[in-house]
Structure 1
């Protein structure tokens, strides 16, 4: 019995072995079983891994890099057979909104309008800094009261010239008016004291006689004098004069009320008066319109006095309007006329 030669199996037995098998079959059977057992173990071995086949890769000569080709557009996937493609919704065209126009530049704020110029200017005179002329007590240097002041005579340019005193007699009998030079007048600003002190010269033994009270080219009695505009229109009449401690006039109190109006008085600054000779008579003028008179604060006794002066801007504007007043002054009653 022959055995095939296998990788890992034993070679064929020799002749001696074969003869031994024929002579004694029992030992041969044992050997055969041993060989079968050994050959069975070799049959179950894993075969060796096959040898790796290495292919020769030919060497290529390095060539210049090829220019990169543009990428191919991705092809849309073909729809499956028998299935209708879903129609795509058309994309709306992009709406380009116009850019908003830049806001207009903010205009520069206009400067605030200037308030209108006041019609009149005022100067406050506190009580205790002046005394009123009318009915002010007059005393001599020894303190004896001799009468009351009733008027003041103004000369050219408005300079005070004389004071008229009503000298008192006994029990009102023998009262008479006398004129004294203004150079002897001293004003007392303290309240509750005689307003005027007369310092008479020593050679003046008897009081002088009263001078005429009519106006002339060089004399103007101030009390009840008419103050008018340059065109002749009447403004009012003088009812009092305010004097400071130096015996200088500060203001005149004017009665500017109309015919049917309640009495209305204002204080006009003495510096605003103009003294001119008109028709050979000294007259006092004031460049003040009716609107300025109405805008002037009222004169109130025992209160601070606000002496008014016409504003320069409004006074020049009122001059043309005042020039037309004579044509209508005859038809309309003047302010303050009685």
Structure 2
């Protein structure tokens, strides 16, 4: 017997048994199912039936690997942001109300008619001539009869150097109007005998140049025009005569006592001639509002004559049946 440590004695049988145990334990870790035996088809069989394979067992779900932890980085300091400015939305506009139907314009208070200045002449202070062209005087008045028909023209006959002037009345039927400017406005188509003024008028005949009204005569110049109720409308200061010797309008002074003078041209057809207090007078139914609404008369402007507007007709009321 030699010196040293004693060797353990392991027999060959013990070593093989240990290897077999290790091999069996390692195979059980990978598969628990034994492989299916291979069955060989018998010789002489042409078709083989498929062998149903056993269902495979579901494999265990894989566990997601956790991400590796990284050292946390320090966040950068955030800059302070200004608070957002909130603008108020403007309030919506109120709904537009439904437009009401436009009311009709009010009815005019007066009716107007424009006349051309080249179609008439003014009566007051117009030159009067004979048919031979000789000027004998100037017109100072016109006498109207019932219904407003002109009857006479009153002429201031010229004397010698202003001495011996006198007024004379001539029939309106002898009056001719010249509408051309810068010419005598009135031409008297009278015989030499008619131009002579009698020294004494006949009995019952009006005095030459008289300005007094009678039941059948109304001198127009300076006559007052009133309403039917007696209220004064204005004073006649002139008469506009058309080319056919028919009066077109009267110029009325409608200014008050303390007001600046204001004149209007009233249409001749709007006048009503009535006998009142044993005298012929002219009436005009125009209210103060209608007079104020009338355009003013001016010598250098177009002439617009006025007349009262017709009142709107009242709606017809159906007659009630007898009950």
State how far apart, in whole Å, the 1-side matches of 2:254 and 2:270 are: 16
- Look up the match of 1:169: 159
Which among 181, 192, 195 is matched to residue 191 of structure 1? Answer: 181
State how far apart, in whole Å, the 1-side matches of 2:263 and 2:313 are: 20
- Look up the match of 1:297: 295
Q: Does 1:145 align with 2:135?
A: yes
State how far apart, in whole Å, the 2-side matches of 1:154 and 1:205 are: 21
State how far apart, in whole Å, the 1-side matches of 2:255 and 2:126 are: 25
State how far apart, in whole Å, the 2-side matches of 1:109 and 1:304 are: 40
The answer to whether the 8 A contact 1:272-1:286 is kept is yes
Deviates more, 1:196-205 or 1:162-171: 196-205
TM-score, normalised via structure 1 length: 0.61
- Look up the match of 2:146: 156
Q: Which has the larger radius of gyration?
A: 1
State how far apart, in whole Å, the 1-side matches of 2:100 and 2:258 are: 47
- Look up the match of 1:253: 251
- The structural deviation recorded for 1:212 is 2.6
Which among 219, 230, 237 is matched to residue 228 of structure 2? Answer: 230
Which among 278, 281, 286 is matched to residue 276 of structure 2? Answer: 278
- Look up the match of 2:265: 267
Q: Secondary structure at the match of 1:213?
A: coil
- The structural deviation recorded for 1:195 is 0.5
Q: 1:167 to 1:48 in 2, by over 3 A?
A: same
Q: 1:283 to 1:314 in 2, by over 3 A?
A: farther
Which among 100, 104, 107 is matched to residue 117 of structure 1? Answer: 107
- The structural deviation recorded for 1:207 is 3.1
- Look up the match of 1:102: none
- Look up the match of 1:10: none
The answer to whether the 8 A contact 2:41-2:48 is kept is no
- The structural deviation recorded for 1:126 is 1.6
The answer to whether the 8 A contact 1:139-1:147 is kept is yes
Q: Secondary structure at the match of 1:312?
A: coil
State how far apart, in whole Å, the 1-side matches of 2:178 and 2:151 are: 19
State how far apart, in whole Å, the 2-side matches of 1:314 and 1:258 are: 30
- The structural deviation recorded for 1:109 is 6.7
- Look up the match of 1:244: 242
Q: Secondary structure at the match of 2:194?
A: coil
The answer to whether the 8 A contact 1:218-1:282 is kept is yes
- 1:6-52 residue CA offsets vs partner (Å, 9 max, x unmatched): xxxxxxxxxxxxxxxxxxxxxxxxxxxxxxxxxxxxxxxxx985533
State how far apart, in whole Å, the 2-side matches of 1:221 and 1:162 are: 9
Q: Between Structure 1 and Structure 2, how many residues are aligned?
A: 221
- The structural deviation recorded for 1:203 is 4.4
- Look up the match of 1:92: none
Q: Secondary structure at the match of 1:293?
A: helix
- Look up the match of 2:217: 219
- Look up the match of 1:129: 119
- Mark the runs of 5 or more structure 2 residues left unpaired by the alignment: 1-38, 50-96, 202-207, 315-323
